[in-house]
A and B are shown apart, each in its own frame.
Chain A
Amino acid sequence: MAESQDLPSIGPNSGPDIAAALTRQFISFRVGDDEFAIDIMAVREIKGWTETTVLPNQQDYMLGVLNLRGTIVPIFDLRCRFGLGLTTATRSHVVIIVAISGRLLGLLVDAVSDILTVNAADIRPVPDVDQPIDNAFLAGIIPVGDGMVVLLSLENLFANHGPANTAVAA
């Protein structure tokens, strides 16, 4: 299933030039003890946590909205989105503002770690293992040193982030 990600497939004949052209950059950040990464092209801004205005009757991980210089931006708790409980946000927590399919949204994370420059060929598919985080959120694994960073699929994370209204009859 992970092979279906739209990562460029590198054939055996690909020369070094092509591989170099396929270098991608990611921003890595920490949620709990784990390192995650998202495509740097999606990131618009990184800012410290400020109190949000809570929207009524939303999923737990939807923390409310912020005023980003006149634009109303929804903020999501990434830890909670993974089903690992709510973050008790403090001023040292960080909100990463990203643009996904024309919309701006903010991700609450513990801290931003690094900018990773990765050869596309080095991104490994996610093995299908039993884990608390839904596999659909994961786009791949980037080996860094002797550890690894999990690449997130923002589209899948927030494809269906609306209010919990599926149970309501019309």
Chain B
Amino acid sequence: MSTPTFGSDELAQFRRTFFEECTELLADLEERLGALVVSSSDVESLNAIFRAVHSVKAGAGAFGYTVLVGFAHRFEALLDRLRDGKAELDERTLVSLVAAADVFSALVDLARQGEVPADDFGADVAEELAILLGSETAPRPAARSPGSAAEELPASKEKTYRIIFRPNAELFRRANEPLYLLRELKTLGALAVDCDLSRLPSFETFNADDSYLGWTMTLRSDCSPDAIAEVFEFVDNECVLTIAEADATEAKPDEAAPAIAASSKPTIVAPSSPSESKPAESKSAGKTGSISSIRVDLYRVDRLVNMVGELVIAQAMLAQQFIESRDHDDPAANQGFEHLAGLTRELQECVMAIRMQPVKSVFSRMPRLVRDVGHKTGKDVRLEMAGEQTEVDKTVIEELADPLTHMIRNAVDHGIEDAEVRLAAGKPAEGVIRLSAQHAGSNILIHVEDDGAGLDRDRLLAKATEKGIVSANVKLSGEEIDELIFAPGFSTAAAVTDVSGRGVGMDVVRRNVQALGGRVQVTSTAGKGTRFTLVIPLTLAVLDGMVVAVGWEKYILPLTSIVESFRPGRGQIRVIPGGGEVVSIRGEFVRLIHLARVFGVSEAVTDPCEGLVVLIELANGSKLGVVVDELIGQQQVVIKSLQDNYDPVPGISGATILGNGRVALIVDIEELTRLYDRNVRIADATTRPMAANA
């Protein structure tokens, strides 16, 4: 027989599960909060928010996070009034709800880290909640603080409920404790409890894991039957519950009606999953279709992804060995190998799909961010979103949150002008920010677009010159000036505001995006607005690559960036003063970069006319001709991190293992020009110290 006390391992496991759930609940809360609009009566959203807060509260109570519970209590009370229509959702209330959600999630974070929040943590927000709760004429207590309920109430509103609670035998095994429920009930009003021992078996057949007791209770309270049902929210599929009004004469008909109607057989049954894992969602499940997902430890998924990656490599190695063997023309074996290759690829896609999630979870945080920042800066801004259902790897989603937050904040603070300026420019006073996501090949494209003033190139250049990012005598194109906002240590905010200028700039955004193997580019039209485009691979685990040979080495170029490859004729190549080389293709002049020179590979082809030029397109839309010896072939490669065991290598974004078991390096094409310039500049500095331009 298992012991009913939990070891520290189990407790830690429960705690982990609780915080996992919290993360989901808070994301849901955030999303719903974003959907709320002033003076609307979106009861469904309010209900959802309420459920989220309530679920966190319930768990927090079980783990003894008292500060969190206390705060949740007030939060919940306000939400409760709102959804009952007893308080109005005005601007002030909405702002407080948003602030309260922040404090709430901060408290959850603190609890997760095992820290105890300071006494006055979130006190201002809590106070604001209290004011909002107090400012209404309260028909019932704002917060169900113990003891206060019965005394403060006008007696005429009190009703007497008869509650019969018969838990199923499994109750304890679902980690429920009826004592807490009874205590919770007690906070609603005067409670008399009668315990039913009739189901208690003889000692020989007694099973300590089973629940045998039942309770019949009488509650005098002014609360609604729903409030009582809510106490049992987490056990409603673990018990037989009857809530009936014992003395209906005093009650107002409208409130009493559901209780009376239900009193014949008001058993609350939740038909959805028997598991306790998502209690808050069980009510909405009927509407959205039953939930058919399971919660899996991310580590297991990662392991699966890794194993399949190894399998893909092993399959490729085997296939290569077969081709080199003398049986390679055996048709049956060939067919078998083809089948195996197909299955492996399919398996890999399936496994990758497990990690895919809609970007919605990040996007949903943005509406309130816009509202928040708009509020602080006094700007009227609307956020339009599209493509929230676009799926991308979970790790990518997590890493997207920071860059997106920063870019949206920037768009509101710097991009959108003040209302007067907008009106003067003939634009509507309300600014619009568009956030959209879509798939493009094996990448996801995310646009952040505002209809503001666009980048002020004169100011950008002045600032960059002042900060020494560019030297005064350099002539930059408009696009190059726009690019300056990504330079480290660059911030154009005239004054450091509360909103922007917190020390993270667009350079951090670019770094974050590049760390994901992606790129970010900006286009801007004066007076019309600015548009940032993020191109990010759907997954960090695999890459469609082109294997190229340079000397004895093999490198992988990301296929998505490759436009074409060709062997140029003599007439197409021009050496320009300063040592640079360009190739002319269809009237366009493209800069040439020798991979061998950038990476210092000896015994490589030096004449582009004898090797190949791979034309690639960079994130900023410019093109580059990469000179290699030859193309080996196209291949999907499993990305391995170099940085697990070594430091970052400039120009290399990762590595992979080829069919022959050798490591091949994946080229970071965005770094190539910078690397080349650096090498050339260093070379110049040693040979011609006064080189004007490289």
Contacts and interface: CB of A to CB of B under 8 A. Distances in A.
Interface of A: 51-58, 64-67, 70-74, 103-105, 161-163, 165, 168, 170
Contact of A103 (B598, B644, B678): B644
B488 A170 contact: yes
A161 B600 CA distance: 19
A70 B657 contact: yes
B511 to A, nearest CB: 12
22 contacts: A52-B663, A53-B553, A53-B664, A54-B553, A55-B652, A56-B598, A56-B665, A65-B642, A65-B646, A66-B663, A67-B657, A67-B662, A70-B313, A70-B640, A72-B644, A74-B642, A103-B644, A103-B645, A103-B646, A161-B646, A161-B647, A163-B647
Contacts of A162: 647
A57 B598 CA distance: 8
Given A67-B662, A170-B488, A72 B652 contact: no
A57 B646 contact: no
B649 interface: yes
A61 to B, nearest CB: 13
Interface string B451-467: 00000000000000000
A104 B645 contact: yes
A115 B651 CA distance: 41
B613 interface: no
A74 B645 contact: yes
B432 to A, nearest CB: 37
Contacts of A65: 642, 646, 655, 663
Contact of A70 (B310, B600, B647): B310
Contacts of A168: 678
B261 to A, nearest CB: 65
A72 B553 contact: no
Given A74-B646, A161-B647, A55 B665 contact: yes
Given A67-B657, A67-B663, A70-B657, A56 B644 contact: no
Contacts, number: 78
A53 B645 contact: no
Given A53-B553, A65-B642, A170-B488, A72 B663 contact: yes
A4 B652 CA distance: 39
A163 B649 contact: yes
A165 B651 CA distance: 13
B650 A72 contact: no
B474 to A, nearest CB: 16
B147 interface: no
B81 to A, nearest CB: 53
Contacts of A51: 662
A105 B642 CA distance: 11
A103 B655 CA distance: 16
A52 B661 CA distance: 11
B641 interface: yes
Given A74-B646, A162-B647, 17 more contacts: A53-B553, A53-B655, A53-B664, A53-B665, A55-B646, A56-B601, A56-B665, A57-B650, A65-B646, A70-B306, A72-B641, A72-B644, A72-B646, A72-B655, A73-B645, A74-B642, A165-B650
A105 to B, nearest CB: 6
A72 B599 CA distance: 19
Contacts of B657: 67, 70, 72
B599 A57 contact: yes
Contacts of B664: 53
A116 to B, nearest CB: 27
Contacts of B663: 52-53, 64-67, 72
Contacts of A73: 645
B206 to A, nearest CB: 52
Nearest to B598: A56
Contacts of A53: 553, 655, 662-665
Closest 4 CB pairs of A and B: A56-B599, A162-B647, A53-B663, A74-B646
B644 A71 contact: yes
Given A56-B652, A103-B645, A72 B640 contact: yes
